[in-house]
Amino acid sequence: MVDDLETQRRAIVERIAPADPQEALTLMWRFMGVATPVFERCDDSSGTVIDIFHQACADLGALAKVARPEPKALARQVLDALQDNGYGQYDDLIALLAPALGPAGLEYLKELVEELGRTPVPVPPKGDWEQVGWGTGGPRYAHEMAERARQSTVSMALKDIGDALGDVDGFIAQYEPETRRVPKIAAEIAQRLLGAGRAEDALGFIERAEFGNNGWIPREWTETRLAVLEALGRLDEAQAFRWETFERTLSVEHLRAYLKRLPDFDDIEAEERAMAQATAHPSFLAALQFFLDWPALDRAAELLVARHSEIDGDHFEYLVPAAEALSERYPLAATLALRAMIDFTLTKARSKRYRHAADHLTECARLAEDIQDFGAFETHDAYVARLKEEHGRKFGFWSLAEG
């Protein structure tokens, strides 16, 4: 089916469009019209089918620019399509067709959408209510779902139209006042205000954002705040915020940007301060990843040795790259990373990881030849002896390790 869909799409674009763009546009609308029944009959967990329809939606935009349909007629087609967008196939339709719609077509589409917004879904007599599912509040009915879909369609369409027309206030109006304080939404609004030359207004939305108790700050909000401060010429505040962001997240990107803006020689002292900050960071894994990314492999090695009790062997996605990066120059630190993964695997009896743990133990044996002094840590032989004492009955592991 996937091949058939792609063949049809390409035939419209490559064979029909060059000779007759109007006919190609008509056929592409028909092609998009089969999206809903296709999704109703297939499992698209891989995303392959939606990718084809997203490309077809982009094709609509390209074909419409050439075919140049009457803007009001095109606007009516857009409205019809947006009301059949249950699988997201038309998500970018307004932006893609904005050039073909032009200002007049977009304004007319706005009128159509606003009219839809004033037309609620009729509520049938209670005896005719059709239950279509269950939610936390009890049964869900078809007319309620249709009403929610209508409201969502109107809100999203008016945002997209506002973007296409450069109407920032129209975009903002689609959000309730409390929603505008959600950090990601505040960032979206501020970005548009900044693009419209309204940096002070943008800062107001950014600063009014409210964060949850978990302390998580979205990247979009951070980057937008920096852009707004820069636009306002508040460079010292922007620098202070870069450092604050680095302290919180150990972001390589923000530290580099901070150092780049310092006077000559001040950056050396600031970099040392940053390394000390990372070493003492509460999150061992964040600190390790920072040193690997900077890169400062000597600091990463020191961290593994000094804070070895904090190494969580379950985090192989951090520890495997760390061991690989450190093995040549810092074999003891690499060994500690490998041992943490071995210990976790055996202690938790994660049999699916036995092959990896056995490979790690083999690598530890190789690294041991380059370690002159294990210091406070067990030698390789002592470590293996302890493993056999504590996990000697895990035959699946030992058959792999000694095979």
Residues 208, 287: one domain?
Answer: no
Pair 71, 108: CB distance under 8 Å: yes
State the pLDDT confidence band at 174, using cuts at 50, 70 and 90.
confident
Look at residue 339 and tell me if it is in a domain.
Answer: yes
Domain that holds residue 370: 282-403
217 and 265 in a common domain: no
Mean pLDDT value across residues 189-215: 94
* Alpha carbon distance 33, 194 (integer Å): 38
Amino acid at 54: H
Mean pLDDT of 244-250: 97
Average of pLDDT values for 69-98?
A: 96
113, 185: one domain = no
User: Could you tell me if residue 225 is inside a domain?
Assistant: yes
Note whether 40 and 163 are same-domain residues.
Answer: yes
* pLDDT surpassing 90 at residue 72: yes
How much is the pLDDT for 214?
80
Q: Using alpha carbons only, how large is the chain's radius of gyration in Å?
A: 30
Instruction: List own/partner pairs for 339-342 with CB under 8 A and 24 or more apart.
Output: 339/313, 339/364, 339/383, 340/308, 340/311, 340/312, 340/313, 341/313, 341/316, 342/313, 342/387
| Local confidence band at 17 (pLDDT 50, 70, 90 cut-offs) | very high
Q: Are residues 304 and 225 in the same domain?
A: no
pLDDT tens for residues 229-243?
999 999 999 999 999
* Mean pLDDT, rounded, for 58-81: 97
Mean pLDDT, rounded, for 78-87: 94
d(CA 378, CA 293): 29
Mean pLDDT, the chain, whole residue set: 95
Give the residue with greater pLDDT, 321 vs 129.
Answer: 321
Cα 241 from Cα 135, distance rounded (Å): 43
Total number of domains in the chain:
4
89 and 201 co-located in one domain = no
Asked whether residue 215 carries a pLDDT value surpassing 80, the answer given is no
Q: What is the pTM of this model?
A: 0.78
Range with the poorest average pLDDT among 109-123, 130-144, 160-174: 130-144
315 and 181: one domain?
no
Q: Is 307 within the bounds of a domain?
A: yes
Same domain, 159 and 182: no
Q: What residues contact 299, with CB distance under 8 A and at least 6 apart? A: 275, 278, 279, 291
Among 123-137, 258-272, 374-388, the minimum mean pLDDT is found in 123-137
First to last CA, the chain: 47
Which of 4-13, 39-48, 86-95 is predicted least confidently?
39-48
In a shared domain, residues 207 and 345: no
Q: Is 142 contained in some domain?
A: no
